[in-house]
């Protein structure tokens, strides 16, 4: 084992790490937004809306992420072509981002739903009694409290998402893992670079999950 070649390769690997982080953050934002809308739909009084959202969640939770990534990689260019009528190619990054957002939304939805359900009924009744409408009650009363409660779970899911972004290897996107692998192949030391990549993922994930544990301890009454 000789780790001396890693230092010169660091700048290019930082580009990969940057892509990984970008993918993670954008997917979290998209996933939480779509997931929250789905959760509201699942708890809606309109039966059809609730059922459709329920099906969406069950559907995405029963298929592998890798299948979604691969499928979207092939499918998104077709769909964009049909919708816009043009033949413009979209990159792997766009299709991966859409795949991650839609897939993770199903998981975030369940977290948000549990969060909303943990808010006592009295809060909602009080909001309505004050004359707030549904949107105001959710936006000003329920969701702020729910999000505070479910922060640890949302972060836990985000850490899983961060690790799962390495699956974009399947469509050849140059994320951190893929960059490290190609750098390692160039200098003929694939093992060292693989271990190094594993170490960096470990440090980030472990650091983040330790913080979540600390957060949980601090917020439990």
Partner 1 sequence: MNYHWDWGVFFKPTGIGSEIYLDWFMTGLGWTIALALTSWIIALFIGTIIGVARTLPNKIIANLAAGYVALFRNVPLLIQLFIWYFMVPDYLPESLELWFKQDINPATSAFISTVICLGLFTAARVAEQIRTGIEALPQGQINAGLALGLRLPQLYKDVLLPQAFRIIIPPITSEFLNVFKNSSVASLIGLMELLAQTKQTAEFTANLFEAFTLATLIYFVLNMSLMLLMRKLEKRVQVPGLIALGGK
Per CB under 8 A, residues contacting partner 1 are: 59, 62-67, 70-71, 74-75, 78, 81-82, 87, 163-164, 166-167, 169-170, 177, 181, 190-191, 194-195, 197-198, 201-202, 205-206, 209
CB of residue 16 to partner 1, shortest distance in Å: 13
For partner 1, the closer of residues 119 and 194 by Cβ is 194
Work out the number of other CB atoms within 10 angstroms of the CB of residue 31. 24
Q: Which is nearer to partner 1, 101 or 177 (CB)?
A: 177
Contact 76, 95 (CB under 8 A): yes
Q: Which residues contact 149 (CB under 8 A, 6 or more apart)?
A: 115, 118, 119
- The sign of the CA dihedral 21, 109, 60, 87 is negative
Q: Smallest gap, in angstroms, from Cβ of residue 62 to partner 1?
A: 4
Instruction: Return the number of the residue (64 or 144) whose C-beta is nearest partner 1.
Output: 64
| Residue number, 18 or 74, with CB nearest to partner 1 | 74
Residue 78 C-beta: closest distance to partner 1, Å: 6
- Close Cβ partners of 127 (under 8 Å, ≥ 6 residues apart): 136, 137, 140, 141, 142
Q: How far is the CB of 121 from partner 1 (least distance, A)?
A: 20
Rounded distance, CA 36 to CA 52, Å? 15
């Amino acid at each position: 084992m000789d780790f001396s070649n890693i230092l010169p390769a660091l700048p290019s690997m930082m580009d990969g790490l940057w892509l990984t982080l970008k993918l993670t953050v954008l997917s979290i934002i998209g996933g939480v937004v779509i997931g929250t809308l789905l959760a509201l739909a699942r708890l809606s009084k309109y039966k059809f809306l609730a059922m459709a959202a329920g099906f969406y969640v069950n559907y995405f939770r029963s298929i592998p992420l890798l299948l979604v990534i691969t499928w979207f990689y092939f499918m998104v260019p077709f769909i964009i072509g049909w919708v816009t009528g043009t033949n413009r190619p979209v990159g792997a990054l766009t299709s991966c981002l859409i795949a991650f957002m839609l897939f993770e939304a199903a998981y975030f939805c369940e977290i948000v739903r549990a969060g909303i359900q943990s808010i006592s009924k009295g809060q909602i009744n009080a909001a309505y009694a004050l004359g707030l409408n549904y949107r105001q009650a959710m936006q000003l009363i329920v969701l702020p409290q729910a999000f505070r409660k479910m922060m640890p779970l949302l972060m836990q899911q985000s850490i899983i998402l961060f690790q799962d972004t390495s699956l974009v290897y399947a469509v050849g996107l140059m994320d951190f893992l893929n960059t490290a692998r190609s750098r390692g192949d160039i200098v003929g030391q694939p093992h060292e670079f693989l271990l190094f990549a594993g170490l960096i993922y470990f440090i980030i994930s472990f650091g983040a999950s330790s913080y979540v544990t600390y957060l949980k301890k601090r917020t439990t009454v």
